[in-house]
Amino acid sequence: MRYDISRDAICYGFFMRLLKRVIVVVLLGMILFMVRDDIRYVYQLLLKYGDKPSALALSSYKAVIQQKPVAGAKSNLSGLTYSAEDRMLFAVINNPPELVWLTTEGQLVGRMPLQGIHDPESIAWSGGNQFQIGSEKDGAVYKTQVDIQRGTMQIISMVKLEGYDKAKNKGLEGTAWDAKNERLYAAKERKPIMIKEVEMSKNGITRALPSAITASVSDVSGLEYHAPTDSLLVLSDESKMILEVSSEWRVRDRLFLTAEWSGLRDDIPQPEGIAMDNENNLYIVSEPNLFYKFSCDIQND
Q: Measured on CA atoms in the order 15, 21, 22, 27, is the torsion positive or negative?
A: positive
Please give the average per-residue pLDDT across 56-63, as a whole number. Answer: 92
User: 282-298: b or e for each residue (b if 16 or more CB lie within 10 Å)?
Assistant: bbbbbbbbbbbbbebee
Q: What are phi and psi of 38, to 5 degrees?
A: -65, -40
**Of 176, 167, 141, 166, which Cα lies nearest the Cα of 155?**
141
SS (H, E, C) the chain: CHHHHHHHHHHHHHHHHHHHHHHHHHHHHHHHHHCHHHHHHHHHHHHHHCCCCCCCCHHHEEEEEEEEECCCCCCCEEEEEEECCCCEEEEEEECCEEEEEECCCCCEEEEEECCCCCCEEEEEECCCCEEEEEECCCCEEEEEEEECCCCEEEEEEEEECCCCCCCCCCCEEEEEEECCCCEEEEEECCCCCEEEEEEHHHCCEEEECCHHHHCCCCCCCEEEEEHHHCEEEEEECCCCEEEEECCCCCEEEEEECCCCCCCCCCCCCCEEEEEECCCCCEEEEECCCEEEEEEECCCCC
Q: How confident is the model at residue 12 (pLDDT cuts 50, 70, 90)?
A: low
Among 7-16, 43-52, 123-132, 135-144, the range scoring the smallest mean pLDDT is 43-52
Q: What are phi and psi of 92, to 5 degrees?
A: -115, 150
Which pLDDT tens digit goes with each residue over 172-185? 999 999 999 999 99
In total, how many domains does the chain have? Answer: 1
Q: Is position 29 within any domain?
A: no
Which pLDDT tens digit goes with each residue over 279-292? 999 999 999 999 99
Q: Is position 203 within any domain?
A: yes
Are 275 and 82 spatial neighbours (Cβ–Cβ below 8 Å)?
A: yes
Which pLDDT tens digit goes with each residue over 18-56? 777 777 677 666 665 654 554 554 455 455 545 556 778
Instruction: Check residue 2 and give its pLDDT.
Output: 47
Are 123 and 92 spatial neighbours (Cβ–Cβ below 8 Å)?
A: yes
Q: Is position 23 within any domain?
A: no
Please give the average per-residue pLDDT across 215-241, as a whole number. Answer: 96
Instruction: Check residue 114 and give its pLDDT.
Output: 95
Instruction: Check residue 195 and give its pLDDT.
Output: 95
Report whether pLDDT(81) > 80: yes
Q: What are phi and psi of 254, to 5 degrees?
A: -150, 150
Question: Which residues, including other chains, have CB under 8 Å from residue 122's CB and lie 6 or more apart?
Answer: 78, 79, 92, 133, 134, 141, 172, 173, 174, 175, 186, 187, 222, 223, 273
Domain that residue 48 falls in? 35-296
Q: How confident is the model at residue 189 (pLDDT cuts 50, 70, 90)?
A: very high
Q: Is position 301 within any domain?
A: no
- The CATH number for 118's domain is 2.120.10.30
Instruction: Check residue 154 and give its pLDDT.
Output: 96
Which pLDDT tens digit goes with each residue over 242-290? 999 998 898 999 999 999 889 999 999 999 999 999 999 999 999 999 9
Report whether pLDDT(163) > 50: yes
Instruction: Check residue 49 and give its pLDDT.
Output: 46
How far is 141 from 159, CA to CA, in rounded Å? 5
Q: What are phi and psi of 3, to 5 degrees?
A: -65, -40
Q: Is position 1 within any domain?
A: no
Mean pLDDT score of the chain, rounded to an integer?
87
Instruction: Check residue 54 and give its pLDDT.
Output: 72
Instruction: Check residue 170 and give its pLDDT.
Output: 84
Q: Is position 284 within any domain?
A: yes
Are 64 and 294 spatial neighbours (Cβ–Cβ below 8 Å)?
A: yes
Please give the average per-residue pLDDT across 146-175, as a whole number. Answer: 89
